[in-house]
Amino acid sequence: MNNINIHNVLKKYWGFESFRTKQEEIINDILVQKDTLALLPTGGGKSICYQIPALVKEGICIVISPLVALMKDQTSKLQKHNIKAIAITGGLNQHELDIALDNCIYGNIKLLYVSPERLESDLVRERIKKMNVNLIAVDEAHCISQWGYDFRPSYLKIAEIRALKPESPILALTATATKNVIKDIQDKLLFKQQNVIQNSFRRPNLAYMALEESHKSTRVHKILQKIKGPAIIYVRNRKKTYEFSSELNKLGISSTYYHAGLSEDERTANQTKWMNDTTRVMVATNAFGMGIDKPDVRLVIHLQNPDTTEAYFQEAGRAGRDGKKAFAISLFQKSDFKDSMNQFTETYPSSSDVRNIYQNMANFLQIAIGDGYEQTYDFEFEKFCSKYQLNKYKCLKALNILEKDNLINYNSYNNSPSSVLIICNSKSLIKYKSPNAKKNELIQLILRLYPGVFDNPVDIKERNLAIQLNLKSNQINKILKELDQEKLIAYTQRNNNSKITFCTARYSSKFLPISKFHFNDRKSLLKQKLKHINDYLLNTSICRSKVLLDYFGEKQSEDCNICDICISKKADSKSFRKDIRTKLLQSVQKNPIDISTFIARYSKIKEQVILDEINNLISEELLLKTGKTLKSNEER
C-alpha cells in the first residue's frame, strides 16, 4: 500500500491532514512487514500506528493490551467511526466468546482487542489459526520485560502467537522504556531483526518542577490561581481524591475526583465533566489517565509522587499535549522520602505473606484444592482485608505478584456494565412476536440503538431503556431475563464487585509456584526505581528534563530553561539580584511593604534569592525590618 492510501485513511476516519512525528515512518515499516518497536511519548498517537495498517491491509489486526478499560474505550471510538472492532474481555461468557471469535474469522472485523491472558486459551488460539492476521500489535510492550516497572509474565506467552502466524509482523508500542527494556522487548517478541523507531521524549513546552512545601494545600491553591486551564492533581489513595476535591470546591475552584473504586457511572460522569470543561480540576489516583485524550491540560500536580520514574513521566506527560506551555509540578516534604522507603519495606510481601494471602483468599471464596480453574469470582477486597486483618497495601502487592505469576487475574474495577448480545439469527428475530407489547418494543429499541448487537456484546443501561419505553428499570431487567431464557439474547447483568479469576486450579499454598524473582531481583529493582524518583525530586543542580531523558537513555545537550532548576540558576544570576535590589528599594520609597506580598509576585523558585537580597539590604542598612514589613532606612 502506498502513502496516498494511508493519508486518505487518516483524513477519512480521523480528519487529520498529516501524521505526527514518526507515525508515518512506523506505519510504512509495518506495511513492508517489518517487526517494529515504536517508542512514542504519552500522547504521541500510538494507536494510529496500528489502526491505519489494520485498515489498509487485508485481514484483521490483533491488538494485545493489559488494560480492559482502554480496550473498551478504543473499540467504542472505532465503532463510532464505522470501523468494525471488538474487545474480548473477562466479562464474556463462553457463548459470547464463541460468537465474537467467529465474527473475527467471517465477519469482516478489522481490529480484535484481547488481553495477553486470553491468548493462553486453547479456544482463542485455535480461532486465531483461522484468522487472516495482518498485524500483531503489542500495547504497553514494556510489560514483557522483567527489568520494566510493570512486568507481567503473561506477556512472555505472546511470542507463541508468532508460531501460529509467522508471516504477520509485530508492532510493539510503549511510552516508557530504558535501554535494557528496549533490547528485552525485541528479544522476547522474537523480532526477525532489530528495528526501533523512537520519537524524542523531550517535551520543550513542559516545565518540570519539584518544590519542597510544608503546606501543600495552600501551595496548590496559589498554583491554580496563577496557572489557568484544565488540571490534574494526583494523590495516592482513594479517600484523598474526594477530600481534596471537596476542599478545592469550597475555595471556589471547580473540581471532581476519580479512582478505581467508583462505579462505572460515577467514573464516566466525573470524567465527562472534566473532559467537557464543566469542571476544571480532576483529583485522581493513578487509575486515571490511560487513553484520556485531552490536549489542553495546562497543569499536572503530584501531591504524592509515584514509586517509579516511568509512572511519573507518563502522568506528568498528560500536560501540554497541544504543544503549548504547560507545567508538571511535584510537591514534597523531606519526610515523604523516608516515609516512602519505609512503606515500601513494610508493605512489600514476603514469600510467606503471599502464600498466606493466597490461602486466605481460597478460604474466603470457598475454593477447594484442585478447583477454580478459569472460574471468576466476585471479590470484596475491603471485607477480605478486614476479615483476615491484612494490610491493604501489602495485600494488593501480594495479589499483584500472584497475577504476575499468572495464578490469578484481579480486576479491581468494581463495576461491569450490563451487556446484551443477540444470539438468534435475524430471521428468527423478525418472526418473533410476543403477547407482551413492551417486550417487542424493547427488541426494536435495542436494534435501533445498538446496530452492532448481532456481532458482539454491547454495554447497555437499563435505566436509559426504561425511560424511553416509559417503564421502570426492574421491568426492563425482567424482560431482558425472559429474552435470555428464550435464547434470543445473551444478557449479562451489571455487577458491582471486584473480580478474581483463577488462571490455574487452586494449589495447596505450600506448593504454590511463586517465582523467587519477586523477592530478590524484582524487589531490589523496584527499590532502585523508588530511589531514583526520590533523587530526581531532591536534585537541585541538574536540569530536570536532562535527568528524565538520561534515565530513558536519551542525551540532551542543552538545558530546558523552563524547569525550576534552570529558573533558579537564572534567579541566582547577578542581573536578577540587581533587579530585585532595585525593585525593593523603589517599593519602600513611599510606604513600608509587606515581605510576603512582595515575594508573592514571584514564583516560589525565586523566594530564597529574594530573601537573601532582603537580608543583604538590611545588613547594608538600606532597609529596616519591623515584624513582617520593610521600610526605607531614612536615617542612612
Distance, CA of 137 to chain centre: 18
Residue 114 one-letter amino acid: V
Would the pLDDT of 330 be above 70? yes
| pLDDT value of position 495 | 66
Q: What is the DSSP letter of 461?
A: -
Would the pLDDT of 69 be above 80? no
Q: Which residue has the higher pLDDT, 366 or 525?
A: 366
> 390-404 pLDDT, tens per residue?
998 899 999 989 988
Least confident of 14-23, 277-286, 296-305, 550-559: 550-559
Measure the CA–CA gap between 207 and 186, rounded to whole angstroms. 33
Phi, psi of 50, rounded to the nearest 5 degrees: -110, -25
SS3 labels along 282-319: EEECCCCCCCCCCCCCCEEEECCCCCCHHHHHHHHCCC
Q: Which whole-number Å values give the CA distances from 560 to 178, 224, 547, 606, in the listed order?
A: 21, 23, 11, 17
Measure the CA–CA gap between 28 and 591, rounded to whole angstroms. 69
Task: Indicate the Cα dihedral angle 274, 280, 281, 286, nearest 10°.
Answer: 30
Q: Which residue has the higher pLDDT, 163 or 319?
A: 319
> 432-460 pLDDT, tens per residue?
888 888 899 999 999 888 877 887 788 88
Local confidence band at 367 (pLDDT 50, 70, 90 cut-offs): very high
Local confidence band at 626 (pLDDT 50, 70, 90 cut-offs): confident
On whether residue 456 sits in a domain, the answer given is yes
Does residue 188 share a domain with residue 177?
Answer: yes
On whether residue 563 sits in a domain, the answer given is no
Q: Give the three-state DSSP class for 99.
A: helix
Local confidence band at 361 (pLDDT 50, 70, 90 cut-offs): very high
Would the pLDDT of 481 be above 60? yes
On whether residue 88 sits in a domain, the answer given is yes
Tell me what the pLDDT averaged over the chain comes to. Answer: 89
| pLDDT value of position 59 | 94
Q: What is the DSSP letter of 370?
A: T
Cβ atoms of 475 and 381 within 8 Å: the answer is no
- Report CA torsion sign: 529, 533, 535, 539: positive
Highest-confidence segment of 13-17, 104-108, 255-259, 632-636 = 255-259
Does residue 518 share a domain with residue 379?
Answer: yes
Q: Give the three-state DSSP class for 236.
A: coil
Distance, CA of 180 to chain centre: 23
| pLDDT value of position 1 | 44
| pLDDT value of position 554 | 87
Percent of the chain whose pLDDT exceeds 70 = 97
Write out the H or E segment, with its range, that includes residue 344.
helix 334-347
Residues ≥6 apart with Cβ < 8 Å to 464: none
Domain CATH number, residue 396: 1.10.10
On whether residue 187 sits in a domain, the answer given is yes
| pLDDT value of position 416 | 64
| pLDDT value of position 90 | 63
On whether residue 566 sits in a domain, the answer given is no
Does residue 456 share a domain with residue 503?
Answer: no
Joined together, the cell numbers standing for residue 95 give 457463548
Local confidence band at 153 (pLDDT 50, 70, 90 cut-offs): confident
On whether residue 470 sits in a domain, the answer given is yes
Residue 622 one-letter amino acid: L
Neighbours of 306 (CB within 10 A): 22
**Average pLDDT, integer, range 528-551:** 93
Residues ≥6 apart with Cβ < 8 Å to 285: 234, 235, 236, 237, 238, 241, 258, 259, 260
Around 339, how many Cα atoms within 13 Å sit in the side-chain half-sphere? 9
Q: Which residue has the higher pLDDT, 409 or 386?
A: 386
Joined together, the cell numbers standing for residue 247 give 476542599
> 483-496 pLDDT, tens per residue?
999 989 988 887 66
Q: Which residue has the higher pLDDT, 612 or 507?
A: 507
Measure the CA–CA gap between 278 and 444, rounded to whole angstroms. 34
Does residue 151 share a domain with residue 54?
Answer: yes
Least confident of 13-27, 144-158, 222-236: 144-158
Task: Indicate the Cα dihedral angle 340, 343, 344, 350, nearest 10°.
Answer: 180
Does residue 227 share a domain with residue 189?
Answer: no
Phi, psi of 142, rounded to the nearest 5 degrees: -60, -20
Task: Indicate the Cα dihedral angle 423, 464, 275, 254, nearest 10°.
Answer: -150
**Average pLDDT, integer, range 349-358:** 95
Does residue 164 share a domain with residue 101?
Answer: yes
**Average pLDDT, integer, range 269-282:** 94
Would the pLDDT of 603 be above 80? no
Least confident of 98-107, 193-202, 469-478, 603-612: 603-612
Measure the CA–CA gap between 439 and 489, rounded to whole angstroms. 12
Does residue 304 share a domain with residue 427?
Answer: no
Does residue 300 share a domain with residue 229?
Answer: yes
Measure the CA–CA gap between 136 and 157, rounded to whole angstroms. 13
Cβ atoms of 385 and 133 within 8 Å: the answer is no
On whether residue 458 sits in a domain, the answer given is yes
Would the pLDDT of 636 be above 70? no
Tell me which of 143, 166, 198 is where a domain ends.
Answer: 198
Does residue 314 share a domain with residue 237?
Answer: yes
Write out the H or E segment, with its range, that includes residue 545.
helix 544-551
Would the pLDDT of 611 be above 90? no
Domain of residue 475 covers 418-492
**Average pLDDT, integer, range 172-198:** 93
Phi, psi of 192, rounded to the nearest 5 degrees: -70, -35
Which stretches does DSSP call E strand in 285-423? 299-302, 326-332, 376-379, 408-411, 418-422
> 233-266 pLDDT, tens per residue?
999 888 999 999 999 999 999 999 998 888 777 8
On whether residue 534 sits in a domain, the answer given is no
Neighbours of 402 (CB within 10 A): 25
Would the pLDDT of 284 be above 90? yes
Does residue 390 share a domain with residue 370?
Answer: yes
Does residue 438 share a domain with residue 380?
Answer: no
Task: Indicate the Cα dihedral angle 256, 257, 261, 267, nearest 10°.
Answer: 50
Number of domains in the chain: 5
Q: Give the three-state DSSP class for 237.
A: coil
Domain CATH number, residue 156: 3.40.50.300
Q: Which of 619, 636, 633, 635 is CA-nearest to residue 588?
A: 633
Question: To 5 degrees, how large is the angle CA 223–CA 229–CA 232?
Answer: 70
Does residue 406 share a domain with residue 457?
Answer: no
Would the pLDDT of 635 be above 60? no
| pLDDT value of position 398 | 94
